[in-house]
Amino acid sequence: MAKLHKDIDASDKRPERIVLLAVDFTDFGGNRVVRQNDFQAAVAEAKELIKATGGELVETLTCQKDKPNAALFVGSGKAEEVADLVTQFEANLVVVNHPLSPTQERNLEKACQCRVIDRVGLILDIFAQRARTQEGKLQVELAQLTHLSSRLVRGYGHLQSQKGGIGMKGPGETQLETDRRLIGSKITRLKQQLQQVKQQRQTQRKSRYRNGTPTFALVGYTNAGKSSLFNRLTKAEVLAKDQLFATLDTTARRLFLAPPNVNVVLTDTVGFVRDLPHSLVEAFAATLEETAQADVLLHVVDRSHPEWSRQIDDVNEVLKQIKADDIPTLLVLNKIDLLPQNNVLPEGAVVDAKGEVVAMHVSVQSGAGLSDLRAWMTEKAQA
């Protein structure tokens, strides 16, 4: 009997076996090479997201399609292929690297006979694992419940069963209606709690404004090196790992720039990602407001990443969503030490034709360019 319990415990700890489905919806006109590279980058990012969840990717299936199928997202033939892979590799989860409608998700689950989640669900899972502060947990729970509320039809074999009794709305309410009402109530409470957090942040910002302390916010694509830069500048010990979404919780530290003895506040924020779900942007409004209220943004970029230019565009899109696109911004092009020998970049400031500093080449790992960055921040803080 003891051995049986041991086997059960071991199976519970095994990572989920995952089949990844990615569909290339690119138009066959135009620059096909560029479009194909973008699709391959999206697939590579999906694999990194799966790795970040702790799951085991057993197989990847890609295909081309001109538009999503309303019922299954992919065609019935491709859905059968996915189901065969699930059986072949004994997978227990299918991840689709695109947003799915509740109907598509439910139909794919029936076809594959296992759980199916989309890109939004995958990111939410990572967020749920990484949230550490009470605020972060509240924001993640709000995003999860908002996502779940549209998917309550899934998995219920008793939708028409009536459930009354103590604590319920009353006789005649179906289980589905009860669940929707309870989730709606929970969402309302979470929004109220986050509103209190927002008011607390506003009080803290007013205090900084009264003291005349300039605020610099680190923004950028996930895993660009924001937390590492934050730690290097402030001597803090914020979690910094080579993985997607290592940081979810906003951290602020006072930074002393000398000479000439200038104090600023430096804020580390959650990383962005391509096609960041709107529900996540809304749920993290309290955190992202720190970015929107900053005096200066330091947009950290992984310059060694093959898609670094597109990642800049993705971050700028989110900044536009949160109305932070008009804040003075410096591109901090990080990880120049990882560039190949034939593409070495000089450390320090990059100036435009007018002599204005528009970017900074740095390596947080080696420290290259950081003295120039601090000097620029000092100058900005005094302006």
Per-residue pLDDT at 145: 86
Cα 56 to the center of its chain, rounded Å = 20
Count: domains in the chain: 2
What is the reported pLDDT for 286? 63
Strand 357-361, strand 348-351: pairing? antiparallel
Question: At 210, is the pLDDT very low, low, confident or very high (cuts 50, 70, 90)?
Answer: low
| The domain boundary residue, chosen from 91, 110, 126 | 126
Which CATH number belongs to the domain containing residue 28 in this structure? 3.40.50.11060
> Measured between alpha carbons, how far is residue 372 from residues 225, 347, 367, 375, 378 in Å?
17, 9, 10, 5, 10
Closest CA to 141 of 194, 220, 178: 194
pLDDT of 10 over the 60 cut: no
Residue 52: predicted pLDDT: 86
Residue 61 vs residues 64, 74, 184, 255: alpha-carbon distances, Å = 11, 12, 36, 48
Same domain membership, residue 326 and residue 225: yes
Given 95, 126, 157, the domain boundary residue is 126
Cα angle for residues 180, 71, 183 (degrees, 5° grid) = 10
For residue 271 the two structure tokens come to 């990383």
Asked, for residue 162, whether it belongs to a domain, the answer is no
For 36-63, write each residue's pLDDT tens digit. 678 888 899 899 889 988 899 999 999 9
Q: What is the pLDDT of residues 58-80, one digit of tens each?
A: 999 999 988 899 999 999 999 99
Residue 137 counted as domain residue: no
- pLDDT of the residue at 283: 67
Domain-embedded: residue 184: no
Whether 230 contacts 251, CB under 8 Å: yes
* pLDDT of 200 higher than 90: no
This prediction's pTM: 0.76
Q: Which domain holds residue 81?
A: 15-126
Compute the half-sphere exposure of residue 231: CA atoms within 13 Å on the CB side of its CA: 12
Q: CATH number, domain at 259?
A: 3.40.50.300
The yes-or-no verdict on residue 172 having pLDDT over 60 is no
The verdict on 221 and 86 lying in the same domain is no
